[in-house]
Amino acid sequence: MDRAATAATIARLIEPFNKKGIAIGKATTFAGDLEWDSLTVMDFVAAIEDEFDIIITMNQQAEIETYGQLVDAVTRLQAG
């Protein structure tokens, strides 16, 4: 899956978690803009891992703060 398709899939997966209807952009932050708590983040990460059949480690999660960073990370993980 290319980066654009990955980005579109992640945007779709964000929707059920986007309670405030925030417009999602490359710099959208999960904690600040979307105001996700740790449980929401865990649920969302599980959805990402299931959708893309990847594992995102705790260290990787700690480095991902924005939608753009997540798209980049998932794209790299899919490449193997």
In the predicted structure, residue 80 carries a pLDDT above the cut 90: no
Judged on CB neighbours under 10 Å (0-12, 13-18, 19+), 7 is buried
pLDDT tens-place string over residues 2-29 = 999 999 999 999 999 999 999 999 999 9
Using CA atoms, how far apart are residues 56 and 77, in angstroms rounded to an integer? Answer: 8
pLDDT tens-place string over residues 22-66 = 999 999 999 999 999 999 999 999 999 999 999 999 999 999 999
3-state secondary structure 13-77: HHHHHCCCCCCCCCCCECCCCCCCCHHHHHHHHHHHHHHHCCCCCHHHHHHCCEHHHHHHHHHHH
Predicted local distance difference test score (pLDDT) of residue 73: 97
